[in-house]
Chains A and B, each alone.
Chain A
């Protein structure tokens, strides 16, 4: 998608680490994540619940809820390290340069405001529409309505001229997600961080929303990071995939390579636990549980559940190393 856009890196995440202090100790939600996102690229981050995918996106936005905080790493965007920006500069980046879409549109839209106002707010906070009190002038109100309905039309909401006056609960889930996307796209961001944008939707609606995101990526060149637990969606939608486990990336590479020939035992387990149409043999789940992120041992965090476990796996952390030239794997038992 959007090939020929040039391969300039738009977002470079290095060594990002985030913790949540708890009475039991610090939960290490994100542990040294490196990601590079090229302009117009679509990257998937997959993994099971609690593996740190969402925390990773929130860390990039510096929106990790209190008392969690980013303890290390940098996020380079347009030559600046977002982790070092002042609060005001960071606020300008949010929504204007890097926008975010959340999982559950029902709870993400503010129930007390008309959807049109919520779309307009995005434009207003970033100066694309005049703020109060100039916003009350007849001309700016007309301009606001025009921009808002145009955005709603872009994301495929029928009759935006009347519907921009409605409240979120008057829309279906799929339409609500389209509104979220309209809000995210209002300022034409360079990067869109999508946190499980289709998880709360019906399958048919999922496909529509993904199709909409693909279209946006192709027409505007907005780079997308798609967080999902659904490998099928990643396969459908992305060129590059990063598999996360216990706060770390364990395997990363082109989606076809990773799906057809997974190297990391966790990726293999993940693929085996997906039901396939027409096959009647029982699924093979990954045994054991996700480790306690507040009490991680010195070894590989997947070792207790791993089929290819070796003695060294309990002692030292494997590094993320290049395998067959195209991808990265974090495993002692990898083949080189």
Chain B
């Protein structure tokens, strides 16, 4: 096990070049987009002289050559200085710190939703292959894969919010129901402070966006669980477990599912990318005050420092999730080492 710690450390160190690559790539891509932050601000304000534009650009350092800008940016990164958001002049780190918990909470509940729905469906479909349940759920999962998140989200709002009136249409909480700030994950804070009305309110707000964001993941995971269960159920060790006298439920869960989860974990890890990428759309549809919406706004206003930092957060999250996936993988599959 000590060896595993060393390997994890190696992987963490290996993220440094990845982070550097991401930083440079985002820097370049942002500058490839037409228009810079000053152009956008002027477009909104109007009636600005050329002199003022030049001064503003000089203030923001946009008059320097690209390599110089990049150098300053990277030097800042190395010091942990993410710079200031251009339109609001607020520190980027602060903007991200405020928005990130909402995104993390949404992603966690989406993942939870996806797993709670997908794993049982995948298992039952495999156990009753070609049955009505199997065909229906696989058709539904095909739909889940093909349906774009914004469409599913709008559909959910129309049905559950507007027609049935069960769930709120947007936001994280109803005004006045915010729990005390501890972790900034509202459901966790509500539980920690024993604030049940706030918990219920937060969960109601989470339901639609989490289901929307999780649907695509659930669809993919259900299919993977089903196909790997089908394979595993034919394995000799499953037959042998039955020959030992193990009860059918234990055969399914302990012997078969445990092995079927090995390929599933890899897929779930990769799907976290979908949760991050998809959240820009879902957060916009549901007015969710998270990082996704911040990034979308920042891109429109060419807020270079904020976009660069936010993408960096996405990239590092992806790296961390993949590392966690690999660790879990070695735990599930004793034949593997990191």
Residues of B within 8 A of A175 (CB): none
A125 engages B237 (CB within 8 Å): no
B58 within 8 A of A: no
Please give the distance in Å from A222's CB to the nearest CB on chain B: 15
Residues of B within 8 A of A111 (CB): 237, 259, 333-335
- Distance of A113 Cα from B251 Cα, bound (Å): 13
B255 within 8 A of A: yes
Partner of B237, one of A95, A107, A126: A107
A110 engages B242 (CB within 8 Å): no
Please give the distance in Å from A136's CB to the nearest CB on chain B: 16
B247 within 8 A of A: yes
B221-254 toward A: CB 8 Å interface, digit per residue (1/0)? Answer: 0000000000000111101111111111010000
Please give the distance in Å from A175's CB to the nearest CB on chain B: 16
A92 within 8 A of B: yes
- Distance of A63 Cα from B241 Cα, bound (Å): 11
A95 engages B244 (CB within 8 Å): yes
Nearest CB in chain A to that of B256: its residue: A110
A225 within 8 A of B: no
A108 within 8 A of B: yes
Residues of A within 8 A of B244 (CB): 94-95, 99, 121-122, 125, 183
A167 engages B243 (CB within 8 Å): no
Q: Which of B242, B332, B335 has the most CB of A within 10 A?
A: B242
Residues of B within 8 A of A112 (CB): 258-259, 262, 332-334
A169 within 8 A of B: yes
Please give the distance in Å from B236's CB to the nearest CB on chain A: 4
A266 within 8 A of B: no
- Distance of A125 Cα from B241 Cα, bound (Å): 10
- Distance of A114 Cα from B239 Cα, bound (Å): 18
A65-107 toward B: CB 8 Å interface, digit per residue (1/0)? Answer: 1000000000000000000000100011111100110101001
A229-261 toward B: CB 8 Å interface, digit per residue (1/0)? Answer: 000000000000000000000000000000000
B247-288 toward A: CB 8 Å interface, digit per residue (1/0)? Answer: 110100001001100100000000000000000000000000
Please give the distance in Å from B242's CB to the nearest CB on chain A: 6
The interface size of chain A toward B, counting residues with CB under 8 Å, comes to 30
Nearest CB in chain A to that of B250: its residue: A125
The interface size of chain B toward A, counting residues with CB under 8 Å, comes to 23
Nearest CB in chain A to that of B331: its residue: A112
Q: Which of A112, A113, A169 has the most CB of B within 10 A?
A: A112
- Distance of A113 Cα from B335 Cα, bound (Å): 11
A61 engages B243 (CB within 8 Å): yes
- Distance of A96 Cα from B244 Cα, bound (Å): 8
Partner of B245, one of A91, A104, A113: A91
B334 engages A107 (CB within 8 Å): no
Q: Which of A92, A93, A94, A96 has the most CB of B within 10 A?
A: A94
Please give the distance in Å from B295's CB to the nearest CB on chain A: 40
B236 engages A108 (CB within 8 Å): yes
Residues of B within 8 A of A95 (CB): 243-246
Nearest CB in chain B to that of A103: its residue: B236
Please give the distance in Å from B265's CB to the nearest CB on chain A: 12
A94 engages B236 (CB within 8 Å): no
Residues of A within 8 A of B236 (CB): 102, 104, 107-108
Residues of B within 8 A of A180 (CB): 240
Residues of B within 8 A of A65 (CB): 234, 239
B237 engages A108 (CB within 8 Å): yes
Q: A110-B237, A110-B255 are known contacts. Are A169 and B242 too (CB-CB below 8 A)?
A: no
B246 engages A121 (CB within 8 Å): yes
Please give the distance in Å from A97's CB to the nearest CB on chain B: 9
Residues of A within 8 A of B235 (CB): 107
Residues of A within 8 A of B239 (CB): 63, 65, 102, 108
Nearest CB in chain A to that of B335: its residue: A169
Q: Which chain B residues in 5-56 approach chain A with CB under 8 Å?
A: none
B323-337 toward A: CB 8 Å interface, digit per residue (1/0)? Answer: 000000000111100
Q: Which chain B residues in 284-338 approach chain A with CB under 8 Å?
A: 332-335
B245 engages A110 (CB within 8 Å): no
- Distance of A87 Cα from B248 Cα, bound (Å): 10
Please give the distance in Å from B61's CB to the nearest CB on chain A: 56
- Distance of A107 Cα from B259 Cα, bound (Å): 12
A293 within 8 A of B: no
A109 within 8 A of B: yes
B237 engages A169 (CB within 8 Å): no
Residues of A within 8 A of B332 (CB): 112
18 intermolecular pairs with C-beta atoms under 8 Å apart: A63-B242, A87-B248, A91-B245, A94-B242, A100-B240, A102-B240, A104-B236, A107-B237, A108-B237, A108-B240, A110-B240, A110-B255, A111-B334, A112-B332, A114-B334, A125-B250, A183-B240, A183-B244
Q: Considering the complex of A and B, which 4 residue pairs feature the smallest CB-CB distances, nearest first?
A: A95-B245, A94-B245, A95-B244, A167-B334
| B residues neighboring A (CB under 8 Å) | 234-237, 239-248, 250, 255, 258-259, 262, 332-335
Given pairs A95-B245, A102-B236, A110-B258, 17 additional interface contacts (CB within 8 A): A63-B239, A93-B245, A95-B243, A96-B245, A99-B244, A102-B239, A107-B236, A110-B237, A111-B259, A112-B259, A112-B262, A112-B332, A112-B333, A114-B334, A125-B247, A169-B335, A180-B240
